[in-house]
Amino acid sequence: MILVLRALGVGDLLTAVPALRALRAAYPGPELALAAPAWLAPVVDLVGGVDRVVDTAGLDRPLRAGSAVSVAVNLHGRGPLSHRLLAATRPGRLLAFANSAAGCVDGPRWSADEHEVERWCRLLSWYDIPADAADLGLRRPGAAGLPTGVTVLHPGSKVPAKRWPAERFAALARTLTDQGHRVLLTGSADERPLAARVADAAGLPSDVVLAGRTDLGALAALVSNARLVVSGDTGVAHLATGFGTASVVLFGPVPPAHWGPPVDRPRHRALWAGEGDCSGWDGVGSHPTMAALRLDEVLTAVDEVEKVVRVSGAVAA
């Protein structure tokens, strides 16, 4: 069995898609198991090539692989905890970044200044496994009774610093609605009050708030069949990239050079105001780099990606 560790969230999983596909191509015969949270299974199914998910949330419990591990691959981090967790399964071989504290010296050095997709492709290339960083596409799910052709606004994030101010999301929702967009607001159950506040400030009815009302599979289907997605640097943005859905992604404080969509894909725009002056930020509310992004910049980016779709066709290749 090939055991891959990536016990993180949606965006983390989707940046590892090229590496997962490279491993499947390199080891076509054995079972390929992904150690990740079980709730990610609907998106794992859209990646393809993964035979099963080993339910893993964090690094504090032993991995229950269920069978002998021939190759263990650390796509989670640089160790030592993640390295030791995989080493405890007694694999025939461990593919990981070098970490002397974990006794792993046969691997490349970690680089903090690197795009997350490129990082895991580089790891595999060290072990002579070629990976194509552009191979980010996901299987397109059916609409499953969900609305199609909508504009998805996702104002929340697990990291509050990555949230664009709610009042600007409201102004965006109001403007896009006036332009003929059917706006829906998505998010987790915890983000439902935020989405409701945005809808109320935009003068939109409460039924546009889908936050907390869709599971992960339904959210993926909604994004797959959407007209447009506008969000912060979160999992929804990576779903839009995987489906080729036009998107505008608002970055801060982490730059898009580390987590953004491929720069050569004109259907996606990443906006970032730069490092900015954060000396007066108290850690509450939007990060200064997010607050520096203006509504008119976002609307311009929306116009740009929508023009690309009109010229190239409604569905990405």
Q: Could you read off the pLDDT of 17-65 as tens digits, one per residue?
A: 999 999 999 999 999 999 999 999 999 999 999 999 999 998 999 999 8
pLDDT band at residue 144 using 50, 70 and 90 as cut-offs? confident
Q: 187-190: list long-range contacts, CB under 8 Å, 24+ apart.
A: 187/154, 187/155, 187/156, 187/211, 187/212, 188/156, 188/212, 190/156
- Position of tokens 């989707």? 14
* Entry pTM: 0.94
Tell me: the pLDDT tens digits for 198-222? Answer: 999 999 999 999 999 999 999 999 9
Tell me: the pLDDT tens digits for 74-95? Answer: 999 999 999 999 999 999 999 9
Please tell me the distance from the alpha carbon of residue 236 to that of residue 250, in angstroms, as a whole number. Answer: 12
CB neighbours of residue 206 within 10 Å: 10
Residue 316: what pLDDT? Answer: 46
Instruction: Give me the domains of the chain, ranges plus CATH numbers.
Output: 2-126 (3.40.50.2000), 151-312 (3.40.50.2000)
